[in-house]
Structure 1
Amino acid sequence: MATDVKPNAFARFGNDLHSGARSYPFVGKRRLWLLLAAVLMAVSVLIPAVGGGFNLGIDFRGGSEFVVSKTAHVDTATGERIIHEKAKDASDVRVTNIAPGTIRAQMSKLSDDETLQVKAALQEGYGVSENDVTSSFVGPTWGADVTRQAFWGLVAFVVLALIGMAFYFRTWKMSLASIAGLFFTVVVTVGLYAAFGFEITPSAIIGFLTILSYSLYDSVVVFDKIRENTEDVLERRDTTFAEQINLAVNQTLVRSINTAIVGVLPVGAILFIGAFILGAGTLQDLSLSLFVGILVGMFGTLFVSAPLYASLRLGEAQIREHTAKVESGNFKDAEDADEAEDSEGSEEPAEAEKAAKSSKSEESADKATEDEKATEKPAKKPARATIEIHRVNLNG
Structure 2
Amino acid sequence: MRIFQHANYPFMQWRRRAYIITGVMLLAGFAAMIMNATNRYGSWLNYGVDFKGGTVVQLEFNQPVQADQLRAAAEAAGRTGWEITNFGSPREFVIRMEAFSGSSEQVVQQTLASRFPPTSYRIVRTEAVGPKVGNELQFRALVAILLSLMVTMVYLWVRFEWRFGLAAIAATMHDILITLGLLALMGSEISLGTVAAFLTIVGYSLNDTIVVFDRIREDLAKPRHGKTYMELLNQAINETLPRTVLTASGTLATLVSLAVLGGPVIRDFAVVLILGIFIGTFSSIFVASPVLYFIESKWPHKPPTRQQAAPSQSGRPRARTAV
Shorter chain as denominator, the TM-score bin is 0.7 to 0.9
Cα deviation for residue 57 of structure 1 reads: 0.8
User: Would the aligned equivalents of 1:76 and 1:96 in 2 still touch at CA under 8 Å?
Assistant: no
Find out whether 1:268 has 2:256 as its counterpart: yes
Q: Which one of the candidate residues 69, 72, 75 is aligned to 1:74?
A: 72
Letter in 2 for 1:291: I
Question: Counterparts of 1:1-396 in structure 2 under 5 Å?
Answer: 10-11=1-2, 13-17=3-7, 23-52=8-37, 53-64=44-55, 70=66, 71=69, 74=72, 77-80=75-78, 94=81, 106-112=97-103, 115-127=104-116, 130-132=119-121, 136-139=126-129, 140-169=131-160, 171-234=161-224, 236-237=225-226, 239-275=227-263, 281=265, 283-314=266-297
Structure 1 residue 44: deviation in Å?
A: 2.1
Q: Please say if residues 29 and 180 of structure 2, whose CA atoms lie closer than 8 Å, have aligned partners that are also in contact.
A: yes
Q: Is the 8 A contact 1:222 1:248 kept in 2?
A: yes
Specify the code of the residue in structure 2 equivalent to 1:34.
Answer: Y
CA RMSD, Structure 1 to Structure 2 (Å): 3.1
Q: Normalization by structure 1: what TM-score?
A: 0.62
Do the aligned partners of residues 273 and 150 (structure 1) sit closer, same or farther apart at CA in structure 2, a change above 3 Å counting? Answer: same
Residue 318 to residue 199, structure 1, CA distance change in 2 (3 Å): closer
| Counterpart contact for 2:57–2:127, Cα < 8 Å | no
2:99 and 2:128 in contact (8 A); partners too: no
Match of 2:305 in 1: none
Q: 1:158 is matched by which residue type in structure 2?
A: L
Structure 2: any 5+ residue segments left out of the alignment?
38-43, 60-64, 87-92, 303-323
Structure of higher CA gyration radius: 1
Residue by residue over 1:106-152, the C-alpha shift from the partner in whole angstroms, topping out at 9 and shown as x without a partner, is 3333322xx34323322321245645575744313333232222222
Give the count of matched residue pairs.
281
The letter for the 1-side match of 2:81 is R
TM-score by length of 2: 0.75
The structure that is helix-richer by fraction is 1
CA distance in 2, matches of 1:265, 1:243: 33
Percent sequence identity over matched residues?
Answer: 23
CA contact (8 A) 2:74 2:111 kept: no
SS at match of 1:28: helix
1:79 alignment partner AA:
A
Q: Which amino acid aligns with 2:72?
A: V
Q: Which moved more, 1:250-259 or 1:102-111?
A: 102-111
Structure 1 residues 122, 312: closer, same or farther in 2, change over 3 A?
Answer: same
1:221 deviation in Å? 0.2
- Range with greater deviation from structure 2 (115-124 or 71-80): 71-80
Is the CA contact (8 Å cut-off) linking 2:205 and 2:280 kept in structure 1?
A: yes
CA distance in 2, matches of 1:33, 1:73: 42
Contact 1:34 / 1:307 at 8 angstroms: preserved in 2? no
Taking a change above 3 Å as real, the CA distance of residues 199 and 269 of structure 1, as seen in their structure-2 partners, is same
8 Å CA contact 2:49–2:96 kept in 1: the answer is no
Q: Which amino acid aligns with 2:114?
A: G
Contact 2:47/2:189, CA 8 A, preserved across alignment: yes
CA distance in structure 1 between the aligned counterparts of 2:280 and 2:204, rounded to whole angstroms: 7
1:220 positional shift: 0.5
